Copies of this chain bind each other. A is one copy, B any other.
Amino acid sequence: MPEPIDFYFDFSSPYGYLASELIDEFAARFQREVRWRPILLGVVFKQTGAAPLTLIPLKGEYSVHDFSRSARFLDVPYTHPKNFPLATQDAARTYYWLHDQDRETARAFAHSVFRALYVEGRDVSERNLVVELAAGNGADREALSAALAGAVLKARLKAECDAAFGKGVFGSPYMIVDGEPFFGVDRLPQIERWLSSGGF
């Protein structure tokens, strides 16, 4: 069995969302699994001098236009959220809390978060909504709420982020395929060729 594809993303990344709607089916065509790895880019942005795309002069306006156009191009539903950018640490922490119990539930939850934000325009920075979305995927509300209030889960996400940055991850989505890094949903065609021909 070949190595899974590592898929790093920030829930507050529209291009990460677009990739999330495509990556599993994409990888399955090459008999690959995908390891989903939500991270928080805020820390690395401080290091790289980057900022959320929509807050950058000139580039911000283009980006909002490009999010929607890229979504149409990729045939993924998208409505740019009014509340954007937004904090996603509760969503990312909940992902790992679920992941440590059951991978598939965590993935279904991740889709719920992305779609709540980028299709329904809901404010996933709110802890109540995050817990509600997790409960909708079968999670125990009280256990999750307790975990979100504690230090262990906070440390768990921080360790994931540090590990990602240690591998060079600086943006979202960021895919690593057999050690080869690809940044951006617009690198899927390159990944496709990479997987088809074992590199190029």
Contacts and interface: CB of A to CB of B under 8 A. Distances in A.
Interface of A: 44, 47-51, 56-59, 61-62, 65-66, 69-70, 72-73, 165, 168-171, 181, 183-184, 186-187, 189-190, 193, 200
The majority secondary structure among interface residues of chain A is: helix
A57 B171 CA distance: 12
| Number of this chain's copies in the complex | 2
A180 B51 CA distance: 25
B165 A73 contact: no
B186 A58 contact: no
B51 A47 contact: no
Nearest to A61: B168
Contacts of A49: 49, 51, 56-57
A38 to B, nearest CB: 18
A168 B58 contact: yes
Given A47-B57, A62-B170, A184-B186, 19 more contacts: A44-B58, A48-B57, A48-B59, A49-B49, A49-B56, A49-B57, A58-B165, A58-B168, A58-B170, A59-B170, A59-B183, A62-B168, A65-B181, A66-B183, A69-B190, A70-B190, A73-B193, A73-B200, A186-B187
A165 B61 CA distance: 13
Contacts of A70: 190
19 contacts: A44-B58, A47-B57, A48-B56, A49-B49, A57-B170, A58-B165, A58-B168, A58-B170, A59-B171, A61-B168, A62-B168, A66-B183, A69-B190, A70-B190, A73-B189, A73-B190, A73-B200, A186-B186, A186-B187
Nearest to A187: B186
A169 B44 CA distance: 26
A153 to B, nearest CB: 26
A166 to B, nearest CB: 10
B62 A183 contact: yes
Nearest to A65: B181
